[in-house]
Amino acid sequence: GGDFSQKIDYVFKVVLIGDSAVGKSQLLARFSRNQFSLDSKATIGVEFQTKTLVIDNKTVKAQIWDTAGQERYRAVTSAYYRGAVGAMLVYDMTKRQSFDNMARWLEELRGHADKNIIVMLIGNKCDLGNLRAVPTEDAQEFAQRESLFFMETSALESTNVETAFLTILTEIY
């Protein structure tokens, strides 16, 4: 075999947060392995996946951390946020409560993460447009007020998943 060793120029830690069942783990599965599962189990503790990409001729290793939305399954908060340079704040666009809780997730993030962290608001499950409970404008307004990037995605249909991760990684870079 040849020499497959790859020089990594940067390692970027990105964290996923948001209520249980909004699709954090499936967004990560889609991005890192191009997989999706409808009977995904709730995350317990912390998991992570890495994906290596080339941005501007530099090799960037994205280390994406995923934790439980459910309080009782969550790991130590400060360790989760430590060293993160990007965050995805995920809600389910068919569940208003998951959007209303974004302010609390953002507060926790701002309390623990570096102040220069790049944050993207993600309205997931846009394949379920007929069940939409969060108008795009509401999310845009919140994102603008809080200086967040914003995108609507579907892990199921692969809509905007790659774009969302690439946008955040490019902004970090």
Q: What is the contact surface with Mg ion in residues (CB under 5 A)?
A: 24-25, 43
Q: Which of 31, 64, 65, 69 lies at the binding interface for ligand GTP (CB under 6 A)?
A: 69
Beta strands 10-17; 118-124: pairing state: unpaired
Q: Which residues contact 170 (CB under 8 A, 6 or more apart)?
A: 55
Question: What SS3 state is found at 121?
Answer: strand
Structure tokens at 79: 């360790």
Judged by beta carbon, residue 69 or residue 86, the one nearer ligand GTP is: 69
Distances (CA, A) of 36 to 3, 32, 85: 32, 11, 26
Shortest Å distance, C-beta 159 to ligand GTP: 8
Q: Which of 12, 43, 87, 99 lies at the binding interface for ligand GTP (CB under 6 A)?
A: 43
Which range of residues in 4-12, 38-46, 113-121, 138-146 is near ligand GTP by CB under 6 A?
38-46
Residue 25 contacts ligand GTP per CB under 6 A: yes
Binding site for ligand GTP (CB under 6 A): 20-26, 37-38, 40, 42-43, 68-70, 124-125, 127-128, 154-156
